[in-house]
């Protein structure tokens, strides 16, 4: 059974490396980690509301799942984002004759997998492994367009492997912790001039960095679970190049990705109805300005400017057990973007958004269940204003459709009890 879990995890890792992510949480974070969670707008995720994938937000939730289990989710992400430059900005003079056109859809569709496995190795001890993509971004503006000196293409990819452990301390308290091992890559291009077919500058860098996760669940009474989880900041040191048609410079840049706190509530109201609530705070204020240094001289080649602010996400959800095998769910959420009008860029025209979602789960047998969910994100229109070196102004509009399917499989026999580890007997000599 362990070899099957490892093979499943390996297949998910290969999929993660082959498929690009598209940012669908605040900034370029990815909330798409669970097909179950999508159906309730990720309400109560830190309290087990996203199934096995809840360990992404709170590793202590592993204690909710007996035996040896694996879960796989696959997302189809269909974002739409368009930038319409304002007429008369200096960046458009001589380019479209002062009559700039919109970019069309510059957001790229993506498929995104995630995999989770937990193993109850003893009566009150669990170990687990998560393979997922916590950060991702793929946008592509036209090669020749009014804002090309500020961005043509942007690609950010990450792959996380997070081994974790959870312990049931008492009947009402469980604790968990894990280690994040993140592979992080960045590729950014922009035009060197406003003119048509101007050559591009390209910045590339990557690194593998470490972080951690931690959390707790509390069950104060039957049918109630409260969870709090923490994902630490991760600080990759990007090692790469800054290239133009005229020169290539080896560069390095220290980047700090934000830490996150998630609180969840799962409340069983009747045998058929469960209510969920969640709140999440992300420390995007850390993602500010990062100098890009030439490796041979230490001089600043350029500076990556973001100036994000801290953000939050809140959601409510409900589940209805239609029968012992079929469950329906729905959710509603609101997300405050870390990007403001004066910090929005042509690479990521993110804005506040409202989440609506529905989903269902079907239990095939005691070992296998299937999940399917859909969500639509209504994004607020925004503006882009760049005062210098070439003044540029534009408006943005966006929306997102998300589809997810998943399955959860229990590898051991649910009818057999998990072995209980007892302390050795001590005899008096």
Six token digits for residue 81 = 């984002």
Contacts of 275 (CB under 8 A, 6+ apart): 265, 266, 267, 269, 316, 317, 318
pTM: 0.90
Max distance between CA atoms of the chain, in angstroms, equals 97
pLDDT at res. 102: 84
Q: Are 278 and 46 in contact (CB under 8 A)?
A: yes
Location of structure tokens 């602010």 = 309
Nearest to 161, CA basis, from 371, 14, 2: 14
pLDDT at res. 429: 42
pLDDT at res. 89: 63
Going from N- to C-terminal start, the domains of the chain cover 2-410
| Superfamily grouping for domain 2-410 | Outer membrane protein transport protein (OMPP1/FadL/TodX) (2.40.160.60)
Please give the helix or strand (H or E) that residue 2 lies within, else none.
helix 2-18
Radius of gyration of the chain (CA): 23
Burial (CB count within 10 angstroms: exposed 0-12, middle 13-18, buried 19+), residue 192? middle
Taking 70 as the pLDDT cut, the residues of the chain under it are: 1-26, 88-100, 417, 419-429
Q: Provide DSSP, 320-383.
A: EESSSSEEEEEEEEEEE-S--TTT--SS-----EEEEEEEEEEE-SSSEEEEEEEEEEEEPPEE
Distance CA 390, CA 149 (A): 8
pLDDT at res. 25: 61
The number of residues making up the chain comes to 429
pLDDT at res. 329: 98
């Amino acid at each position: 059974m362990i070899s099957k879990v490892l093979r499943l995890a390996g297949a998910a890792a290969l999929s993660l490396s082959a498929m690009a992510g598209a940012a669908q949480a605040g900034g370029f974070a990815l909330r798409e980690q669970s097909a179950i969670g999508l159906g309730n707008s990720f309400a109560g995720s830190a309290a087990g509301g996203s199934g096995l994938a809840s360990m992404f937000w709170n590793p202590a939730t592993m204690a909710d799942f007996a035996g040896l289990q694996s879960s796989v989710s696959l997302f189809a992400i269909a974002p739409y984002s368009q930038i319409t430059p304002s007429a008369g900005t200096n960046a458009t003079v001589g380019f479209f004759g002062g009559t700039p056109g919109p970019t069309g859809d510059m957001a790229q569709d993506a498929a995104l997998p995630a995999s989770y496995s937990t193993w109850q190795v003893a009566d009150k001890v669990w170990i687990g492994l998560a393979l997922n993509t916590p950060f991702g971004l793929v946008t592509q503006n036209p090669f020749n367009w009014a804002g090309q000196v500020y961005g043509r293409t942007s690609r950010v990819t990450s792959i996380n492997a997070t081994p974790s452990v959870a312990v049931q301390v008492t009947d009402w308290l469980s604790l968990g912790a894990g280690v994040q091992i993140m592979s992080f890559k960045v590729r950014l291009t922009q035009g060197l001039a406003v003119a048509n077919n101007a050559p591009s500058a390209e910045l590339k860098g990557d690194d593998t960095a470490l972080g951690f996760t931690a959390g707790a669940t509390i069950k104060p009474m039957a049918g109630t679970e409260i969870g709090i989880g923490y994902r630490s900041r991760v600080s990759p040191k990007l090692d790469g190049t800054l290239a133009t048609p005229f020169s290539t410079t080896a560069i390095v840049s220290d980047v700090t990705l934000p830490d996150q706190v998630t609180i969840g509530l799962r409340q069983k109201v009747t045998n058929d109805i469960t209510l969920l609530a969640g709140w999440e705070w992300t420390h995007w204020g850390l993602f500010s300005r990062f100098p890009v240094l030439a490796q041979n001289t230490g001089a600043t080649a350029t500076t990556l400017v973001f100036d994000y602010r801290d953000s939050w996400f809140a959601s409510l959800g409900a589940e209805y057990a239609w029968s012992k095998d079929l469950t329906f769910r729905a959710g509603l959420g609101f997300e405050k973007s870390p990007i403001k009008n004066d910090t929005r860029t042509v690479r990521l025209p993110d804005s506040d958004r409202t989440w609506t979602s529905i989903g269902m789960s079907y239990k095939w047998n005691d070992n296998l269940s299937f999940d399917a969910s859909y969500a639509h994100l209504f994004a607020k229109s925004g503006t882009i204003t760049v005062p210098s070196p070439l003044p540029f102004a534009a408006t943005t509009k966006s929306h997102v459709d998300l589809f997810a399917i998943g399955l959860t499989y229990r590898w051991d026999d649910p009818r057999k009890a998990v072995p209980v580890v007892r302390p050795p007997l001590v005899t008096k000599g």
